[in-house]
């Protein structure tokens, strides 16, 4: 699905595209995407309405020092306003900015529910 469809798919399940708040969460996702079935790219909940102005889908403030961009990313390419985690990468820095109309897999997250 493209980014908008991915966001809608997550919200339809009562969740959202994943918001990565810590190195521990990035490490967890890094290990999870290596598991079968392996896919290449996964949308996460980071996007830019304006070039270079990144924001999370849940309005969590974007902190560039807590970002995990690949080397030379974000590249600010034409229309590259959404973020994917790329697999495989050899380190935790595996985010890449991509066009929102490209089809990729997605990672959704939901709040924990106590029953």
How confident is the model at residue 2, as a pLDDT? 97
Task: Quote the pLDDT of residue 1.
Answer: 96
Task: Kindly tell me if the per-residue pLDDT of 108 is higher than 90.
Answer: yes
Q: Which residue has the tokens 């919200």?
A: 11
**What pLDDT does 78 receive?**
80
Q: What percent of the chain clears pLDDT 70, i.e. is strictly above it?
A: 100
What pLDDT digit, counting tens, does each position of 78-104 carry?
Answer: 889 999 999 878 889 999 999 999 999
Instruction: Give, in order, the Cα–Cα distances in Å from 108 to each of 4, 51, 52, 75.
Output: 13, 24, 24, 25
Q: What is the mean pLDDT of residues 68-83?
A: 91
Gap between the Cα atoms of 61 and 101, Å rounded: 25
In a domain, 114, yes or no: no
Q: How many domains does the chain divide into? A: 1
Q: What is the pLDDT of residues 25-53, one digit of tens each?
A: 999 999 999 888 888 999 999 999 888 89
Residue 115 domain flag: no
- Domain hosting 75: range is 3-109
CA angle 60, 42, 1 (to 5 degrees): 100
Task: Determine the average pLDDT of the residues in 68-84.
Answer: 91
Q: Residue 66 belongs to a domain with what CATH number?
A: 3.10.100.10
């Amino acid at each position: 699905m493209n980014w908008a469809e991915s966001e809608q798919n997550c919200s339809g399940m009562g969740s959202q595209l994943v918001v990565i708040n810590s190195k521990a969460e990035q490490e967890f996702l890094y290990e999870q995407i290596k598991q079968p079935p392996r896919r290449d790219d996964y949308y996460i909940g980071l996007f830019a309405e304006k070039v270079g102005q990144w924001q999370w889908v849940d309005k969590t403030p974007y902190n560039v020092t807590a970002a995990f961009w690949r080397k030379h990313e974000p590249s600010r390419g034409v229309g590259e306003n959404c973020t994917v985690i790329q697999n495989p990468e050899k380190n935790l820095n595996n985010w890449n900015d991509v066009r929102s109309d490209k089809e990729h897999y997605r990672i959704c997250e939901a709040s924990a529910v106590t029953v």
